[in-house]
Chain A
Amino acid sequence: MLRREFAIADTCFLIDWSRYRRRDILFRLFRTVFVPENVLNEVKSENVITWISEGLRSDKLALYTPVSDEVEEARELIEESRLHPQLPSMDLPEALCLVIGRRRGYIVLTENRAALLAPKLLSKYRDVEVWRALEVLLNAIRYNIIEPDCSNPRKVFDEYCHDTLHIFPSKTLNEAIREVEELCRRT
């Protein structure tokens, strides 16, 4: 399988992801991960600043400056999402990522629930591929970037949850574990 070329990560995803012990796998999965310019204002610790600046220096990360037309579409998307009051709110950071994902075909990396639901509910965004950390980990296993521990197929996911105090939904986690088990059976 070919590795994916480009992704755009929202700042919340990247900061949470940066606590993960194998955070560099993101740079092996994608040629370039674009990040919003404001990401640099949102990090304070030396560890994360170093990781991000190393990513920028090696061209694995790149700053993305949205054009006014993209911001305008993101505003419209926020308004549309707010027409469903029972759904989680969408704000500019994740809305911009979805717009950029739609227009440029980038995979969107986010943990925002509204952004995860948008392709399922809004026809304009149905082709946008949105990945959470769970999908990043699973794809890293699929592309042989992470070698799973076949004696404990959930270990990769457990490590991420431990490092970031994250809980994956049981249904999707169990599906991912089953896929890892199947991959282990085949090898």
Chain B
Amino acid sequence: MGEDVIKEFLEWEVKARELRRRMADWEFINKQPPRIREALKYYIEKGDLYVASRIAGLSIEEFNELRIKARIPNVA
């Protein structure tokens, strides 16, 4: 069962990452200061709000608002 679960997860993860990349407002992201920009890019790749907020040096709520401004969906 474990292998099937992992396979299904990995397939979904590829789709989720693609959705985040495609929907993101890259113009907005690229205008941000380096720390924020890298945190948004991390979120696009990994979908992990907690770690992304730590990279940005923001609270989770502040980073979540930034995610929405950058039009990056929470895919879960």
**Chain A residues in the interface with B (C-beta under 8 A):** 11-12, 15-16, 18-19, 41-45, 48, 84, 86-89, 91, 93-94, 111-113, 116-117, 120-121, 132-133, 164-169
Complex interface: chain B residues within 8 A of A42 (CB): 53, 59-61
Which one of B9, B46, B62, B76 lies within 8 Å of A166 (CB-CB)?
Answer: B76
Q: How far is the CA of A43 from the CA of B61 in the complex (A)?
A: 5
Which one of B9, B49, B71 lies within 8 Å of A87 (CB-CB)?
Answer: B9
Q: How large is the interface on B (under 10, 10 to 19, 20 to 34, 35 or more residues)?
A: 20 to 34
A132→B61 contact, CB < 8 A: no
| Chain B minimum-CB-distance residue to A163 | B68
A15→B46 contact, CB < 8 A: no
A15→B64 contact, CB < 8 A: yes
Q: How far is the CA of A47 from the CA of B58 in the complex (A)?
A: 18
The 8 residue pairs across chains A and B that have the minimum distance between CB atoms: A42-B60, A111-B76, A12-B49, A167-B73, A120-B5, A167-B75, A42-B59, A166-B74
Q: How far is the CA of A12 from the CA of B5 in the complex (A)?
A: 24
Chain B, 37-63, CB within 8 A of any chain A CB: 46-51, 53, 59-62
Q: Taking chain B's interface residues, is the majority helix, strand, or loop, or is none over half, making it mixed? A: helix
Q: Can you add 5 more A-B contacts, CB < 8 Å, to A15-B64, A167-B74? A: A43-B60, A86-B10, A113-B47, A113-B76, A121-B2
Complex interface: chain B residues within 8 A of A165 (CB): 67-68, 71-74
Complex interface: chain A residues within 8 A of B9 (CB): 87, 113, 117
The smallest beta-carbon distance between B10 and chain A, in angstroms, is 6
Complex interface: chain B residues within 8 A of A169 (CB): 12, 16, 75-76
Which one of B46, B49, B61 lies within 8 Å of A48 (CB-CB)?
Answer: B61
Q: List 14 contacting pairs A-B, 8 Å CB cutoff, sorted by A.
A: A12-B60, A12-B64, A15-B60, A84-B6, A86-B10, A87-B6, A113-B13, A113-B47, A121-B5, A164-B68, A165-B67, A165-B73, A167-B74, A169-B12
A88→B74 contact, CB < 8 A: no
A41→B46 contact, CB < 8 A: no
Complex interface: chain B residues within 8 A of A45 (CB): 61, 65
Most buried by B among A87, A116, A133: A87
Q: How far is the CA of A48 from the CA of B24 in the complex (A)?
A: 25
